[in-house]
Amino acid sequence: AGKALVEQSDKVIFVGSVNVGRKVMEAASKAPTITPVILELGGKDPFVVCEDATVDDAMTQLVVRGAFQNMGQNCAGPERFIVYDKVYDTFCEKISSLVQRLSQGAPLGADGASVDCGASVHPPSLENYQRLVEDAKSKGARVLCGGQKAKLEGQFFEPTVLADVTEEMLIAQEETFGPILSIFRVKGTGEAADQEAVRL
């Protein structure tokens, strides 16, 4: 069915795994008329906070919404927050303060109107989130809030903020697709800092 769908469509937009994305692209290239394809195959989307940024309530709200919308189960949601040294401590403080105030529970339950964060959709994800947090902690990351399965019945993982994340940590290398906001520090100022931010 997938092959026929690709060959008979004007355009295909696919969100999913790399393996299936390859199959979609291959089928599209073999169609009688090449089918245009857009693939979103996961990633580690960055959000850069430069040294001249104003870390105010508006930015804080934007960051938290980007990271925790649908409990981070958002294909285009930012996962890596690359923050310049000059605003790093303020950013960490304001973000963790807001995340600590988020309410978690069943959005369709009795308290649904006041729920900010729901559950994870894939049961094995909770173990993966914990594995990523534990690895990061063991390599020097600080847990500013969250960091474990929530004390709720169901597939709930606490909205988590990790600071001092570095490239050798698994969370810097693997797609999280969950409620973990990872903050990387860009040291220095000026052009050298800009180059480091781009590299990260």
**Measured between alpha carbons, how far is 116 from 104 in angstroms, rounded to an integer?**
6
Is 40 among the residues known to form the active site? yes
The answer to whether 31 touches 6, Cβ cutoff 8 Å, is: yes
Tokens of 196: 């480091």
Q: Which amino acid is at 86?
A: K
Q: State the catalytic residue, choosing from 75, 93, 174, 175.
A: 75
For residue 163, the SS3 value is: strand
For residue 96, the SS3 value is: helix
- Of 127, 126, 137, 121, the C-alpha closest to 170 is 137
**Measured between alpha carbons, how far is 25 from 34 in angstroms, rounded to an integer?**
10
Which is it for the CA torsion 127, 129, 131, 137, positive or negative? negative
Q: Which residue has the tokens 């709200």?
A: 61
Q: How many CA atoms lie within 13 A of 30 on its CB side?
A: 9
Is 75 among the residues known to form the active site? yes
Q: Residue 48: which H helix or E strand, with range? A: strand 46-49
**Would you please indicate which residues are annotated as catalytic (active-site) residues?**
40, 75
